Structure 1
Amino acid sequence: MNSSTNKATTEKTKQQLESVFVSPMRSYTLTALDYYDQLISAQLDAARAYSDMAISQARTWLDVKDADSFKKAMESQQKTASDFMERVKGDTEKVTSISQSFAEDSQKQAEETTKNAVEKAKQ
């Protein structure tokens, strides 16, 4: 009888550890991985767009041969600068949104974990 009581106690402790620590950590880790995946993807996308703009501008300046092509290059430079600023603004908003979503999800998970731990402690 004592052995079956020990097994039951061990099983209950194992279930409590799973529900209070292991499961919440797994859930948080998945949320964090998703966040970093989105963040790195956004950063790589932005870096690619910025480098494409820079290479395009360099090619434009390499084509300058006279006053008319110089004027076109200057106009292209102004448009690229404007496009770049819009892109930076959009990328900043995207990263901010991703970060806010992660913070909200993390906070919800922390609240749920705390609530579950209190409930388990009462049992």
Structure 2
Amino acid sequence: MSLLKQIFTWWNGQTIGTRFHTWRFGTKVGQDEFGNVYYQGGGKDSEGRTRRWVIYNGYADASAIPPGWHGWMHHRTDVSPADESYKAREWEKAHRANPTGTSQAYRPPGSLAATGERPRVTGDYDAWTPGN
């Protein structure tokens, strides 16, 4: 089943094409605390920079890339987080995956997906009409 997943799905880790490209051209740069593995190599991108990619641990979700690795992936820095001794400052929050589409997503009052009752209309709103 794993081979079929790799052939027919792109959201479950890596596809056959990505596996081949990684095996043939990729140089492992490092791994983050979530198990995502980062590579570079295999030529240049459209702007002449070395290609960089990630093999996700699980579903392919770009919000699962921590801030340090995000900067490296987008060529904001040439030094990967694996090669530097990065210490988070006390005001920095820990990385949190994007909760959109999950039970942890934000649902404001009045939303159809929110629990409870919708707030009552107060009558302090007048709709705009042309010519007024």
- Give the TM bin, normalised by the shorter chain: under 0.3
Instruction: Flag the structure with larger Rg.
Output: 1
Q: Which has the higher contact order (CA 8 A, sep 6+)?
A: 1
Q: Which structure has the highest helix share of the two?
A: 1
TM-score for both structures, normalised by structure 2: 0.24
TM-score for both structures, normalised by structure 1: 0.25
